[in-house]
Amino acid sequence: MAVVSNGTTIIDAGALGSGVPTGKMILIKTLTASSSATLSFVHGASSVVFDDTYDKYVFKFINMHPATNEAYFTFNMSLDTGSNYNVVKTTTFFRANHPEAGSNGSLAYRTGDDLAQSASFQRLSAQIGNGNDESTSGYLTIFNPSSTVFQKHFMAQSNAYQIGNEHTNNSHIAGYGNTTSAIDAIQFKMHSGNTDSGVIKLYGIGG
C-alpha cells in the first residue's frame, strides 16, 4: 500500500517515492584506528562498497594520531582487492605553513612530498606530532575508481600539527593513479609506526 501525503507518493512498493528528494552522500563504512599498522577499505569485504555504485568516493579522516613522532599520514590504491597497494601515481603537493609564534607564514610547493610515476604511498599530511593533542584531519576524494578507460584522479586536503616549531600545516594534494584498471581498495597508514587512534569514514557520492 502506498503512503500518499497531500497528493505526493512518499512510500510505495517498499521504496521512497521518486518525487522524494534524498541525500546523495551515503556513509559506507567507518574504520577506527587502535594502534593500527594499516587501515584498509576493500570492496566486497566488511560491507565496503568501492566500485561503480558511485561516481565519486570521499574519505574523511578525523584526528589521525601517530604513535611515532613526525610521521606522515599516507595512502595507496590497489587493483587486486588489497593484495598489493602499489598503483603508480603522479601527484602534486603544496602547503601553507604558519607557526604558533606567528612569524614566517608561507605557501610553497613541496618537491619532497609529491610523486612522479611512483608506486609509493602518497603523503596526505605534513609531519604529525605524537603529543597527546596532536593529529591530522582532512579528506580524500577519488573520482570514478572503477573506470577501465581513464586515469584515476584524486584530490585531498589536510591540516596537521607539526611538532618542533609548533606549526599548522594546511596541505593540498592531488594527482592521478596512472592506470586504466579498476581500483578496488584503498589503504591508509602512517609512513612510520602505527596509527594510535583516529577515524576514517568512507562516503559514496552519487545520484
Partner 1 sequence: MAIISNAVTIADAGAFSASLGSMVHIKTITISSNAATVSFVHGSSDVVLDSTYPIYKFEIINLHPDTNKVYFGFQASTDSGSNYGVTCTASNFGAFQTEGGSDGSLGYQTGGDLTQSTSYPQIGAGDRLGSHNDNNFAAELILFNPSNTTFIKHFLCSTQHGGADAATSSNYCGGYFNTTSAINAMSFKFHNNASNIQSGKIKLYGIKDS
The C-alpha atoms of residue 78 and residue 88 are separated, in whole angstroms, by: 10
Q: How far is the CB of 133 from partner 1 (least distance, A)?
A: 30
- List interacting residues with partner 1 (CB under 8 A): 3, 5-8, 10, 20-25, 55-56, 90-94, 107-111, 114-117, 141, 143-144, 147, 149-151, 153-155, 172, 174-176, 178, 180, 205-207
| Shortest distance (Å) from residue 189 CB to partner 1 | 23
> Helix (H, G, I), strand (E, B), or coil: what is residue 55?
coil
Of the pair 23, 102, the CB lying nearest partner 1 is at 23
| Shorter beta-carbon distance to partner 1: residue 37 or 116 | 116
- Minimal distance in Å, beta carbon 193 to partner 1? 27
Quote the least distance from Cβ 34 to partner 1, whole Å: 30
Tell me the CA distances in angstroms from 134 to 37, 53, 95, 102, 206, one per residue in order.
Answer: 18, 36, 18, 19, 34
For residue 63, what is its C-alpha cell?
584526528
Residue in 115, 125, 116, 121 with CA at minimum distance from that of residue 172: 125
Nearer to partner 1, 102 or 112 (CB): 112
Q: How far is the CB of 167 from partner 1 (least distance, A)?
A: 18
Tell whether the torsion through CA atoms of 68, 71, 77 and 80 is positive or negative.
negative
130 or 172, CB closer to partner 1?
Answer: 172
What is the sign of the dihedral through the CA atoms of 107, 112, 114 and 120? negative
Question: For partner 1, which is the closer residue by CB, 153 or 191?
Answer: 153
Question: Which residues on neighbouring strands pair with residue 62, listed in sequence order?
Answer: 199
Answer for the pair 156, 138: CB distance below 8 angstroms, yes or no.
yes
Residue 11 grid coordinates: 512510500
